[in-house]
Structure 1
Amino acid sequence: TDEPAWILGKCYHLKTEKLELLSDVKSRLWFTYRKKFSPIGGTGPSSDSGWGCMLRCGQMILAQALICRRLGRDWRWEKGKWQPEDYHRILQCFLDRKDSCYSIHQMAQMGVGEGKSVGEWYGPNTVAQVLKKLTLFDEWNTLAVYISMDNTVVVEDIRECVESKKSRPENPPDLSFNTTGPPHHDEWKPLLLIIPLRMGINHINPVYINTLKECFKMPQSLGVLGGKPNNAYYFIGFIGDELIYLDPHSTQAAVDTEEDGSVDDHSYHCQRVPHRMKITQLDPSVALGFFCYTEKDFESWCSLVQKVGMKDSLVWSDLNLVSSFLNETLLGICRVHVCSLFAV
């Protein structure tokens, strides 16, 4: 095909850049069903096969945020090649054991607070809420997580989120990774922005398709959580009218760290041609993910939202933003800026 493929903000032409595209996809962390891990909660399931697919997709979108934060978007993985310590540390955050901060154990048990029993299927919004809660205990990455409500991003709420000086919450879960001391609070915390949306009733409304594609073109894109009823996928891009995704529906044996602290990581990377599906087959309930490492990244994202609204039949409306909106001397007063997304 002559149409370009877009993967998380990167454009590839298949005739000349197919290997580069496949390398990019292969470098994403791929989390699937696992079996033979320690029972969740001590007496619960020792496999998430059949129920954990959205949790695994949540792990994938968060892992991509951590990769962007620690290694950069252009980092690439190759089997058997040396990787930096931060890569192994990210991977260890997701191992299937209770003391890994983003393990299936932590996510399933944190989901109980969202009204989900261990072993119950999750939707995109619920897994987003679970991720937000768990990041509060991650003192290494100190992400700010903002989940939009009612299709609306309130910029001043994001400002409060990224500049929060609050201490870590009380009663942390059973984790052993918090050994680095108190977090260092910069002026801007790296931002994980998650936007749950419903783009139709029973099927995706075709009027949303172009705007959804534009989201994958943004350099801040972390992809999309979604899929089909009771089948979750992690969508990382598109080509033509097909979405490109990583599929968590393979059951592999749980992996633990080696004696030297490393991880046998080959099963955490999808080394095959990625799956594709027609956009029109997408369930309308999704969650969009974006990562803004700096304030400038977020301002750029807001500008892109405006441009999409101007050129598309969909209007991303009511974005009242100045280029240096965090600069109080320019604003004079603290204002609330609202970005209403996917408004027809």
Structure 2
Amino acid sequence: PAAPGSRPICGQTEPAAVQEDEGRLASYELFLEDFSSRLWFTYRREFPPIPGTDITSDCGWGCMLRSSQMMLAQAVVTHVLGRHWRYRRGQTEASDFVHRTVVRWFGDRTADASPFSLHKLVQMGHESGKQAGDWYGPSSAAYILKEALEGACQTEQLLFDLRIYVAQDCTIYLEDVRALCRGTRSNGAPVWRSLIILVPVRLGGEQLNTTYIPCVKGMLSHPNCIGVIGGRPRHSLYFLGWQGEKVIYLDPHYVQEAVDVGPQDFPLDSFHCSWPRKMSFYKMDPSCTMGFYCKTEDEFERFVKDVKQLAVPTESRHEYPVFLVSEGSCADHTDTSETDGAGFAHILQGPRESLDHRHSEEYIIL
């Protein structure tokens, strides 16, 4: 994890404690510039009705989907603009166009040009038995994001070389990932597709097991991390950094007017937040999904090496790791198998299982 006093945001750290006051001010300004460049999706009102309903606002029920949109957006922005891109500073005509394209993908409408809209995500939930207004847990949301991105990468040129993997049994199966990401170009040359990894976990029973706080800090500090979504019904948050014993988050529980993202110059400011919020790690709900983005195969291999260590609690080595990384394929394991002698009772979830089953949010209790 980063040094005490620092503020890691999705794997990047701006030092908070330096010798000179001017240095501290400059550091905080850099932190704010980074924070305010993350995309912020909140409750909206007066958007076009969700098909088949008269619902024109997600206030009170859409927070997990909004948190999920924010985590996916962090991966997408990193993929198409790079992790060092900043809103406002050095914005070129080209980067402004891409920025608006990304925001448009999440616009509140039914258009095909918005594959990650609330309307589209609700539609995917509806196909699996969920209704607009229902609560989505972090595991359910991960599978909805998977379905949404798998569709978008077939139609959006900027996303052609991006894939998404949702870990099952709290385990990343390396054979499955490599099969997903490896391919061949038309000229026969091998290619590796960039990857989003989502890992649904449960870090305790009714409350967060504090043994795992250093693990969460380590994950949020890792350069491949795109954040954590979690929470309880009607109170989901997007965690993207930490400082001291507090976790930094973006809050979707703020009602704003819907923005028509159709015009070329639609306003952007309501999609960015300038005021960071923090809460104690001890108040985090244990039910969450961790997200990571790896652009290249080398990045993925380094990520695998790192998280094998980061996932293990440092203060209590006899505790289960946050999640596992395993050679082989998920298909090779059964619901009674054990992985690497860790003693996990696996809960197998097929990649196309119904949302009704996913909604039960069954996890291995750590």
| Aligned positions of 1:80-119 closer than 5 A | 82=92, 83-99=95-111, 100-119=114-133
Question: Partner letter of residue 76 of structure 1?
Answer: R
Supply the RMSD in Å over aligned alpha carbons. Answer: 2.7
| Aligned positions of 1:273-292 closer than 5 A | 274-292=276-294
Counterpart in 2 of 1:250?
254
* Deviation at residue 135 of structure 1 after TM alignment: 1.0
Structure 1 unaligned runs (5+)?
166-184, 326-334
Deviations 1:188-232 (A, max 9, x none): 221110000001010000111111110011100000001344300
The answer as to whether partners of 1:36 and 1:47 remain within 8 angstroms in 2 is yes
For residue 239 of structure 2, give the secondary structure of its aligned residue in structure 1. strand
Q: Which moved more, 1:224-233 or 1:242-251?
A: 224-233
Counterpart in 1 of 2:359?
none
**Match for residue 28 of structure 2 among 18, 28, 33:** 18
Judged with a 3 Å threshold, the aligned counterparts in structure 2 of structure 1 residues 122 and 158 are, in CA distance, closer, same or farther, namely same
Counterpart in 2 of 1:180?
none
Counterpart in 2 of 1:271?
274
For residue 27 of structure 1, give the secondary structure of its aligned residue in structure 2. coil
Counterpart in 2 of 1:55?
65
TM-score by length of 1: 0.83
The answer as to whether partners of 1:114 and 1:126 remain within 8 angstroms in 2 is no
Counterpart in 1 of 2:352?
none
Judged with a 3 Å threshold, the aligned counterparts in structure 2 of structure 1 residues 137 and 318 are, in CA distance, closer, same or farther, namely closer
The answer as to whether partners of 1:114 and 1:130 remain within 8 angstroms in 2 is no
Deviations 1:10-39 (A, max 9, x none): 112224211111111100000000111110
TM-score by length of 2: 0.78
How many corresponding residue pairs? 310
Q: Percent identity?
A: 35
Counterpart in 2 of 1:181?
none
Judged with a 3 Å threshold, the aligned counterparts in structure 2 of structure 1 residues 47 and 299 are, in CA distance, closer, same or farther, namely same
For residue 41 of structure 1, give the secondary structure of its aligned residue in structure 2. coil
Deviations 1:120-175 (A, max 9, x none): 1111011111111111221321321111111111000111222368xxxxxxxxxx
2:124 and 2:312 map into 1 onto residues whose CA distance is 40
Deviations 1:259-310 (A, max 9, x none): 4x232100000022x1111111111100000001111111010111133357
Counterpart in 2 of 1:296?
298
The answer as to whether partners of 1:224 and 1:234 remain within 8 angstroms in 2 is yes
| Aligned positions of 1:1-344 closer than 5 A | 3-15=5-17, 16=24, 17-78=27-88, 82=92, 83-99=95-111, 100-138=114-152, 139-140=155-156, 141-142=159-160, 143-163=162-182, 187-257=191-261, 259=263, 261-272=264-275, 274-308=276-310, 312=314, 313-314=316-317, 316=321, 319=325
2:281 and 2:4 map into 1 onto residues whose CA distance is 19
